[in-house]
Chain A
Amino acid sequence: MKAAAFDYVRADNLEHALGILDEAGSEAKLIAGGQSLVPMMAMRFARPSLLVDINRLEELKKISQDEQTVRVGACVRQRDIEFNYSLGQTVPLLKKALSWVGHSQTRNRGTIGGSLVYADPSAELPLASLVLGASMHLQSDAAGLCKVEAADFFLGPMFTAISETECLVAIDLPIWQGKRIGSAFTEVSMRKGDFAMASAACQLQTNDDGSLRRISFGVGGVNSVPTVFPQIAQRMINKPLTPEFAKEVAAEVAKECDPGSDTHVSSRFRRSLAGTLLARVMLEALEDSMLNGVSK
């Protein structure tokens, strides 16, 4: 399985990369870690004429934060997020999601941007970014910098709002303020490290009395895109998250899902899994929140 022939250029800087994209359009493709793209090219499903390598651009590898937001450069490697202590404190859900992403060997090369732009419906980072309410910074030569909310970014299986001439440069992740914040991520796959049959993620915060102050959750692998449920979440505010309530919410969410079937998993099973995992992950996040009594 050898890739179709292509030309290769290593971008000197972001401007250089964007200039090439502007000129070449659909003929060119950006490559960072390549963990999704190279196998696709080997199978000749992807056949760019020009590969623009942005993997060494320091400007896309920065991690910074202020009080409200963490900003992660698109070319930050998954393994660097995994081992970053500070991110583990500010956006722990991201780190939890990462433990399910592929294997350590793929995380040594794969980038956060790569996973988000590839947008596999079962992928973990898209789901986590959605639950966290992330926003994506896209930049192009023609339009400059523009910001897209995660909810508007994932449009379909392997399909995002990014255009041919744009590069995802950074991801903003809001930092939840206060105490009693908990998060959890879980998925079920046939083997550990495989694409999930279904996944669920949750971040929540409780009041002093234990009722929910804030909650965000979503499921992956069961629709054409990872999905969050802000209206249902809204109705949960100030209520205690009991196991029964969690199951009730999860069942309602599962009803709204429209999974497809594939070789291994029927849609009925997928839908049930989504409900099962969501209930579990909400309770796990609740338990996590009880360990985190201190402010961030």
Chain B
Amino acid sequence: MNTVSVQIIVNGTLYAKEVEPRMTLVDFLRDELGLTGTHVGCEHGVCGACSILLSDEPIRSCCIFAVQADGMAVTTVEGLALGRGQLSKIQDAFCEKHALQCGYCTPGMLIACHDLIKHTPHPSAEEVREAISSNICRCTGYQQIVDAVLYATDPKGTTHE
């Protein structure tokens, strides 16, 4: 088994590992680093369950080999909270608005939503739907996810940071 060295910063921590070139980034995160928050749904780039931020941009981590991300920075769902017990605005809104059920697509959804509000601080419902359109959910029918993001970004809201 040939291996290559990779160094990837994940949620602010640098990891150096020896992996097969064929190991995808999602398998690297889950199996090498034990960060099982990112999930595998299809392994062919359609469902979005594996979404993470690579250099701050959302991508499908099943469609990239770990070695391609050598030297780059990744953020996973485990890195979205502001601190222990301090959920991000979006995470908190997901809980408030019941934007998840089984939790399997949720990490990818959170990544997509975090990216959305970074660029569009007060999105419309259409903009939310566009942002999450590459993340498939089979539980929620998307309605409460849209509600959660709108709730989190409501300019009139006073209960969020």
- Do A and B actually bind? yes
Q: Which of B22-80 contact A (CB under 8 A)?
A: 22, 24, 27, 43-45, 48, 51, 54, 57-60, 62-65, 67-68, 70
Instruction: Confirm or deny: A106 has a beta carbon within 8 angstroms of a beta carbon on chain B.
Output: yes
In-complex Cβ contact of B63 among A8, A51, A106 (8 A) = A106
Total A-B pairs in contact (CB under 8 Å)?
86
Distance A43 CA – B63 CA, assembled complex (angstroms): 12
Check B67 against A106 for contact (C-beta < 8 Å).
no
Q: Which of B1, B51, B64, B130 is A38 in contact with, Cβ under 8 Å?
A: B64
The answer on a CB contact under 8 Å between A104 and B65 is no
Say yes or no: is A158 at the interface (Cβ < 8 Å to chain B): no
With both chains docked as a complex, state the minimum distance between the C-beta of B58 and any C-beta of chain A, in angstroms: 5
B88, CB-defined interface residue at 8 Å: no
A198 to chain B, nearest CB (A): 21
Q: Which B residues are CB-close (under 8 A) to A3?
A: 22, 24, 65
Task: Assess the A7–B2 pair: CB atoms within 8 A.
Answer: yes
| B133 interface hit (Cβ, 8 Å) | yes
The answer to whether B22 and A4 have CB atoms under 8 Å apart is: yes
| CB atoms of B67 and A38 under 8 A apart | no
Question: A106 CA to B135 CA in the complex, in Å?
Answer: 12
Would B64 and A34 count as touching, CB distance under 8 A?
yes
Q: Which residues of B contact A243 (CB under 8 A)?
A: none
How far, in whole Å, are A190 and B63 apart by their CA atoms in the complex? 23
- The docked-state distance in angstroms from the alpha carbon of A94 to that of B46 is 24
Closest to A77 in B: B57
CB distance B133 to A8 under 8 Å?
no
- How distant is the Cα of A42 from the Cα of B59 in the complex, in angstroms? 17
- Per the bound structure, the CA–CA distance linking A102 and B63 in Å amounts to 13
Contact present for B134 and A53 (CB under 8 Å): no
By a CB distance below 8 angstroms, the chain B residues around A106 are 45, 59-60, 63, 134
For residue B92, CB closer than 8 A to chain A, the reply is no
Q: Are A55 and B57 in contact (CB under 8 A)?
A: no
| Given contacts A104-B131, A108-B57, A192-B133, A8 and B45 within 8 Å (CB-CB) | no
A105 at the interface (CB under 8 A from B): yes
Contacts A5-B20, A8-B67, A192-B133 supplied; 13 other A-B pairs, CB < 8 Å:
A5-B1, A6-B22, A8-B4, A39-B62, A55-B68, A102-B134, A104-B131, A105-B51, A105-B60, A105-B134, A108-B54, A108-B57, A109-B63
Q: List 19 A-B contacts (CB under 8 A).
A: A3-B22, A3-B65, A8-B4, A8-B67, A35-B60, A38-B45, A42-B62, A51-B65, A53-B67, A105-B48, A105-B112, A106-B45, A106-B60, A106-B134, A108-B54, A108-B59, A109-B54, A109-B64, A193-B133
